[in-house]
Amino acid sequence: MASFLPALAPVADPSAHRYFHVIGSSIFVDDRAAGDWPAHFLGMLGEEACWGVDVPADDDPSYGSALDLYSYFGHASETEWMVAGRAVQLVEWSRTHRFCGRCAAPTEMSGGDRSMRCPACGLLAYPRLAPAMITLVTKGEPGPEQQVLLARGVQFRSPVYSCLAGFVEPGESLESAVQREVYEEVGVEVADVQYRGSQPWPFPHSLMIGFRARWTAGEIVCDTTEIVDAQWYTRDALPPIPPAISIARRLIDEWVAADTEG
């Protein structure tokens, strides 16, 4: 699959175009624009210029075949899914920033960067991106008996157990966010916070930053407003875990494979 390069404008004479029509928050992809609606350039997918098309609420050029981003993951490559998520986020950003948050004047697209500019007072509004940490907590020495802490969140769409996650607060480092969120959600203390990877997560506009951390103290006490249940698990007795769409699954699979390979 070709790589994706985010950009503000397409290269000269792209070989083809791909239009990611955003219908509500669902996606319909075609090689032609289905209507004369606002379009945001997303970047180049190989030689193809990609566009996010803002479809009005009362139109549906897909005739009911548009897919939400969760469903689209199973019908596209990971790269195409990432581009679709970018389309949804940029279109929704433009929908919700039509007026200045300072003086209420109508905004316009800036020419030199990805922002909405107020011509009256000059305020710039950039696409919102919310950094969130997600952490796999381990207990015990590496090996078959090592355990991981997995939890079922109150807001989970399916009955799976996953890594602990939460948003980073203003003025807080990522490592501090890991320690705070883990303690707040399940009452345990962790150390040795190690970065493992990241993933754009367009639900609605997060950047998931993955970590591994080591348990140091405390018994599990769930914050019932956030967590339904949390337990320690070994590799050979894991509960239902998230699908491949999520970085949580990558963190869990990496941990499982570490013992298998070792």
Q: Give pLDDT tens digits for 166-187.
A: 999 999 999 999 999 999 999 9
What per-residue confidence (pLDDT) applies to 111?
Answer: 85
- Same domain for 137 and 37, yes or no, is no
What per-residue confidence (pLDDT) applies to 262?
Answer: 44
In a domain, 212, yes or no: yes
- Same domain for 89 and 136, yes or no, is no
- Same domain for 239 and 161, yes or no, is yes
- Same domain for 157 and 247, yes or no, is yes
- Same domain for 61 and 145, yes or no, is no
The per-residue pLDDT of the chain, averaged, comes to 95
pTM of the model: 0.89
- Same domain for 237 and 175, yes or no, is yes
In a domain, 256, yes or no: yes
pLDDT of 100 over the 60 cut: yes
**Of 78, 96, 114, which one is at a domain's C-terminal end?**
96
Q: Can you tell me the mean pLDDT for 77-96?
A: 96
Which positions ≥6 away from 233 have C-beta within 8 Å?
147, 148, 149, 150, 161, 239
What per-residue confidence (pLDDT) applies to 1?
Answer: 64
Q: Can you tell me the mean pLDDT for 38-65?
A: 95
List 217's β-bridge partners, or say none.
Answer: 189
- Same domain for 89 and 135, yes or no, is no
Q: What's 12's DSSP letter?
A: S
What per-residue confidence (pLDDT) applies to 260?
Answer: 58
What per-residue confidence (pLDDT) applies to 2?
Answer: 82
Which positions ≥6 away from 101 have C-beta within 8 Å?
123, 125
- Same domain for 72 and 143, yes or no, is no
Q: Can you tell me the mean pLDDT for 115-142?
A: 97
What per-residue confidence (pLDDT) applies to 261?
Answer: 52
In a domain, 178, yes or no: yes
Task: State the CB neighbour count (10 A cutoff) for residue 18.
Answer: 19
Which pLDDT band, with edges at 50, 70 and 90, does 8 fall under?
A: very high
What per-residue confidence (pLDDT) applies to 7?
Answer: 94
- Same domain for 87 and 159, yes or no, is no
- Same domain for 44 and 157, yes or no, is no
| 131-156 pLDDT per residue, tens | 999 999 999 999 999 999 999 999 98
Number of domains in the chain: 2
- Same domain for 137 and 255, yes or no, is yes
**Enclosing domain of residue 250:** 130-261
Q: Can you tell me the mean pLDDT for 25-51?
A: 95
CATH of the domain at 19: 3.90.79.20
Which positions ≥6 away from 81 have C-beta within 8 Å?
69, 72, 73, 245
What per-residue confidence (pLDDT) applies to 45?
Answer: 96
pLDDT of 220 over the 50 cut: yes
- Same domain for 71 and 187, yes or no, is no
